[in-house]
Amino acid sequence: MKVGRYILLLWAAVLGISTTAAAGEFTPGKSYMAPGRAPALTSYALDASASGAIQTINNIVNLTVVSRDANDLKAEYRAGFIQGKLQGSMIVSARDNCWDNAYLINPDHTFPKQHGPAQAELDKAGDLLNANYAAFLQYLEDPATDADTAHRLKRLLFRMLGIYHGATVEEPAGLDFSGNWLPDGNYFQASELLLGYETAGPTFMDVYFVNAFCDLMDVISFLDLPPGGTRTGSFPDRCSAFLKRAGGEIILTHNTWSGFLSQSMAQTLVVNNDMITFNAATPGLIGSTTDFGYNNKGLMFNETTHRMSHSQIKPLGLWIFWRAALAEQFSDSITTFFDAISLDNTGSYLNGYMLADANTGETGLVEMSYRCFVYYRSTGGPYAVTSRSTDGGVCSTDYDAEMVTSDYLMGINYPASLQVREDLQSTDNRPERRVQFNRWLPGVTNLQTARNVITYTDPNNPLSVFGRWDLGYGVTDYPKQIPDGALDAKVGSTEMVRSFMALAGVLDASATSTGFWMLYGTPHVQGKPFIWSESPWTWQPLRDVPDSLDGKFTLMPLYLR
């Protein structure tokens, strides 16, 4: 009997946590899951201080990990190890699905140029990732880097290393957790720093790849352009979101527009005194990357990606996947979130982040181009707007007053900041979303009406708030037909955040605590969701995604008390 398995059974028996606890109602697609049955809850423990559980409910993979240790770096590493054990082969699926999505959702097929990356493309991406990782380690070791920031980023790095080890080795490694040692290129075997595709297990650089995917694709796309060049209008973009004040509470919503191979899931982490619950874009992540969730300091967040034709990228900068994970896990105010997200500006994966503070009732928004950050904040009245440039130039604070009001914020991938729009040469490629939000947001008064709006689909226009590109029609100046669209929806409130803050953070599969509302699945058009086997892409292999992308809104269990 393996030691880890023995610990799991002993720990489960002592705490009374079943390794096969039943789930609620399940709505499956055609997948590896038995029709009409909910997969059992699976638990894994290293000891009484580090454990986790995973379960699929209504096609939503739901993961919770709790890890405590006197040493923060060790606690993070053990949390990552448990995540890697519980997600296992799903991380390999995430890697391959990312590569296939990159091909499928870009009609120009610029990178990769064929279904499945060529070796030269794997090498190109791998070289960029290895160089960025080396630059990240240099940033951590630079005496000029703020000590608290460096320590928190090291925590995230050790969790990433733990995820890799959990997915590939039987037991945790004996590492130096003093903070003086980092896993550099000398620690890894050369094979661990290569990228794979359709191989049996992940490398460390594969785990870095799934975390850095959005940054990497932007970096590659702009590096391949001539100086001053612009991207085509067919390049993929992302999500819909809104923030709404309703009575004394603040409601935050988001839906992820992504390639239909994305394994959108729910994830909750407790590492020492830091707790966070969020929507993760794929397994294997240290943060959300699609960005929706909240932490136990009272901060709730979402993001929508700016549609951009022009940028100036920094391949060796502190990419936003690091900065966002840092901001989301550790920020205790809108100010500290702004500070973390603005540590660098790499011109990659440029987003607008909506924020709400459950302690103060303050709301905020930060938007960014490759040269400007624009900050908005409000305590209930008109937003005060400030800006900061990274090139010494002027950054206007003018904004679109239809998108930013004292009552609500809307996210449609078209920046509210006029400066950011100009810098990025941004366009609004799904203009009806703006019209729909303007019509429906004033009527959002509670979580139910919020769920209705964030999943609104005009039956005559699938390019709506909650929409689909695969049908090949809809109101847009940039038509395309790709297996992409809204594949989930989430709704949360400051009341939910305060409930989360009150938890002790102890893993308990029988606990009644819940997080945010989440739906996995696409809009129904003509009575059907997106179904791979009935689509133009029937030849696409399905890895840990259902054939029918369908589900129902579920109040996600936290498995915490």
Q: For residue 31, is pLDDT > 60? A: no
pLDDT in tens, 300-346: 999 999 999 999 999 999 999 999 999 999 999 999 999 999 999 99
Domain membership flag for residue 276: yes
Return the SS3 of 302.
strand
Residue 268 has phi, psi (to 5 degrees) of: -125, 130
Residue 242's pLDDT is 99
**Category of 83 on φ-ψ map: left (φ > 0), alpha (ψ -120 to 50) or beta:** alpha
Mean pLDDT of all residues in 243-263: 98
pLDDT in tens, 55-107: 999 999 999 999 999 999 999 999 999 999 999 999 999 999 999 999 999 99
What CATH number has the domain bearing residue 514? 3.60.60.30
- The answer for residues whose C-beta is within 8 angstroms of residue 540's C-beta and 6 or more apart is 100, 104, 261, 483, 532
Domain membership flag for residue 316: yes
Tokens of 150: 């460096």
237: confidence class by pLDDT, cuts 50, 70, 90: confident
Mean pLDDT of all residues in 202-224: 97
Domain membership flag for residue 472: yes
Domain membership flag for residue 235: no
Residue 26's pLDDT is 30
**Rounded Cα–Cα distance for residues 120 and 123 (Å):** 5
Catalogue the E-assigned strands of 288-445.
292-295, 299-305, 351-357, 363-368, 372-378, 384-389, 408-411
Q: Which residues of 479-502 are buried (b: 16+ CB within 10 A; e: fewer)?
A: ebebbbbbbbbbbbbbebbeebee
Question: Number of C-alpha atoms within 13 angstroms, CB side, residue 360?
Answer: 16
Q: For residue 132, is pLDDT > 70? A: yes
Sign of the dihedral defined by the CA atoms of residues 118, 120, 125, 130, in that order = positive
How many separate domains does the chain show? Answer: 1
Tokens of 129: 């990732």
Pinpoint the alpha helices (H) of 395-461. Answer: 418-424, 432-440, 447-454
- With beta carbons less than 8 A apart as the criterion, state whether 183 and 161 touch: yes
Tokens of 354: 């909506």
State the average pLDDT for the chain. Answer: 93
Domain membership flag for residue 24: no
36: confidence class by pLDDT, cuts 50, 70, 90: very low
Across-strand partners of 373? 368, 388
Question: Which letter does DSSP use for residue 425 in this model?
Answer: T
Residue 12's pLDDT is 36
8: confidence class by pLDDT, cuts 50, 70, 90: very low
**Rounded Cα–Cα distance for residues 432 and 56 (Å):** 34
Mean pLDDT of all residues in 468-492: 97
Other beta carbons within 10 angstroms of residue 176's beta carbon come to 10
Statement: the pTM of the whole predicted model exceeds 0.75: yes
Residue 231's pLDDT is 86
Residue 518's pLDDT is 99
Q: For residue 4, is pLDDT > 60? A: no
17: confidence class by pLDDT, cuts 50, 70, 90: very low
Q: What is the dihedral of CA 441, 447, 452, 455, to 10 degrees?
A: 90
Q: For residue 18, is pLDDT > 80? A: no
Give how far Cα 328 sits from Cα of 298, 303, 324, Å. 11, 11, 6
**Rounded Cα–Cα distance for residues 200 and 489 (Å):** 32
Mean pLDDT of all residues in 213-229: 92
What is the percentage of the chain residues whose pLDDT exceeds 70? 93
Question: Position of tokens 């989301």?
Answer: 328
**Closest C-alpha among 336, 330, 337 to residue 76:** 330
* Residue span of the structural domain in which 403 resides: 42-229+240-557
Domain membership flag for residue 455: yes
Question: Position of tokens 């999943």?
Answer: 455
25: confidence class by pLDDT, cuts 50, 70, 90: very low
27: confidence class by pLDDT, cuts 50, 70, 90: very low
Domain membership flag for residue 403: yes
**Closest C-alpha among 401, 474, 463, 478 to residue 433:** 463
**Rounded Cα–Cα distance for residues 339 and 336 (Å):** 5
Using only the alpha carbons of the chain, give its radius of gyration: 22
38: confidence class by pLDDT, cuts 50, 70, 90: low
Residue 16's pLDDT is 31
**133, amino acid identity:** Y
Domain membership flag for residue 201: yes
